[in-house]
Structure 1
């Protein structure tokens, strides 16, 4: 049964365009004027995660936001080796496509891992599509230090085991939804749980282009966090790029415990803790607070 796409989600889709990344169609949005700002979304959804803060950001920045391959409105090939490295290549390819050679970064979830990879390339002269400058990075909740990361049981099951491959065939069925929805709900704070309507929109994003078939494959990016941990951390410890972490503390995956680890590992760590009832999706749960702390970071750099 084909459900009608949510009106706001449809508007989001209609406002975007596509570019060719090595033969695959990558959806992205560019809007606004001012300094370039690259938004790197999380797993398992897409750029629509940024909708609550989008209108404010586009007043101040030229905002560039792609959907990663395997997610959202981008191509979702089944025979594909999804990886953080490849996602980073795609973001660099998009910036080259748009003739952009510097940008601020705002990242969330898997986007943090992609941002860490982009920063490592920036620091170690390893950029894939020509040189570009990172002006600042703002991290939202994500598993930046694998040693402090505590994924939910269902996530481990799906991306870490062969069961994910078996279950991918039944991803569209009600059982798959029943597995996913409790996992999602527990990642939000107690007072900001997704409404049934929001859950419906999330499911529409996952269903687009039969995306559930590849959900578990895209989810294997967690392995990259082991492989590249020390290279990423070395880049973060040595960089002169101004960084700020804005963290929702009750996120069971990467909440207050991840922020504490960030403070232990990163010199002169700039960490902002949100209200103690905010979870894994701060830009959806506390958009005004995220905007305030993000813009304060940018303003301080500009005044620098």
Structure 2
């Protein structure tokens, strides 16, 4: 993940059968050969892939074990047709990945769709502790959210997303073009931080890999799933003993300033960072995101 190119991204990927599907994932180092005890797990958003984290990955690898995966239906991972994609299944896959790689203490940095997966993992850990169930070795120590639908009632999907999720989605998706993707990205990036051509090209290439665009309508069911499980996820956040952090690009029309305001209103002693960018802070303001996140991790560890 040290290079931005699609070829390098593919070359450095590992694959594993997790929950019945071939999943592409990346590790920063051989745990047996290093004395780094904590792992950061990156969870990407919709409709992109783990490539989004390449900048943060490059620098955080110096001090932490890093782990990420292209979720089912995304990037280089399997994209089964006629599959009922679920945020809960994505959480199952991450739990399997953590177990397979013998992860102990870990932190999550999540974005967009990945925020919901992180919320589910946070909820599961709290539920197991409350029920005094057997805990897996992997112990979640902190969560950092980037722009995403943390509160379903505040989430404002684009018209394009609503149409693709509707009954005409299966037809519309066949006419999806790189130009239409570019227009959507320009709508959600900040006015002074538009997407670079390389970011548009990579997002498109990863989306189209193995006809991934055809499963978009099925994946977009996550909008309904957020409404179904949102109450329990937010309750887990309110009562959480796990440190939480929210880095928000306030220009984002989907989950920007309005989502940040709601977070501050609902989450006790909310720890947040505001950036004057759009939906992809990790791409639009990579230095600032890295700096804020390093500070957060230091506060957690101290």
Structure 1 length normalisation: TM-score?
0.91
Alignment correspondent of 2:250: 249
Cα shift readout 1:140-195 (whole Å, capped 9, x = no counterpart): 11010011111111111112x11112223444xxxx43433212211101121113
Q: What is the Cα deviation at residue 131 of structure 1?
A: 5.0
> Partners in 1 of 2:223 and 2:180 — Cα distance?
19
Alignment correspondent of 2:297: 298
Q: How does 1:1-304 map to 2 (within 5 A)?
A: 8-32=5-29, 34=36, 35-125=38-128, 130=136, 132-159=138-165, 161-171=166-176, 176-274=177-275, 276=276, 278-303=277-302
Superposed structure 1 runs of 4+ greater than 4 Å apart? 126-129
SS of the aligned residue for 2:212 comes to helix
SS of the aligned residue for 1:59 comes to coil
Contact 2:48 2:207 in 1 (8 A): yes
Cα shift readout 1:92-120 (whole Å, capped 9, x = no counterpart): 00001111132100000001000000000
Cα shift readout 1:206-252 (whole Å, capped 9, x = no counterpart): 11111111122112211111000110011001110011101111000
> Partners in 2 of 1:129 and 1:98 — Cα distance?
16
Contact 2:103 2:137 in 1 (8 A): no
CA pair 129-212 structure 1, distance change in 2 beyond 3 A? farther
Contact 1:120 1:235 in 2 (8 A): yes
> Partners in 2 of 1:167 and 1:122 — Cα distance?
39
Contact 1:139 1:244 in 2 (8 A): yes
Q: What is the Cα deviation at residue 124 of structure 1?
A: 0.6
Q: How many residues align?
A: 291
CA pair 55-192 structure 1, distance change in 2 beyond 3 A? same
> Partners in 2 of 1:214 and 1:186 — Cα distance?
22
Structure 2 length normalisation: TM-score?
0.92
Contact 1:16 1:28 in 2 (8 A): yes
Q: Which runs of 5+ in 2 are unaligned?
A: none
> Partners in 2 of 1:128 and 1:78 — Cα distance?
35
> Partners in 1 of 2:287 and 2:204 — Cα distance?
25
CA pair 18-154 structure 1, distance change in 2 beyond 3 A? same
CA RMSD in angstroms, aligned pairs only? 1.8
Q: Which runs of 5+ in 1 are unaligned?
A: 1-5
Deviates most, 289-298 or 218-227: 218-227
SS of the aligned residue for 2:236 comes to helix
Q: What is the Cα deviation at residue 199 of structure 1?
A: 1.5
Contact 2:72 2:90 in 1 (8 A): yes
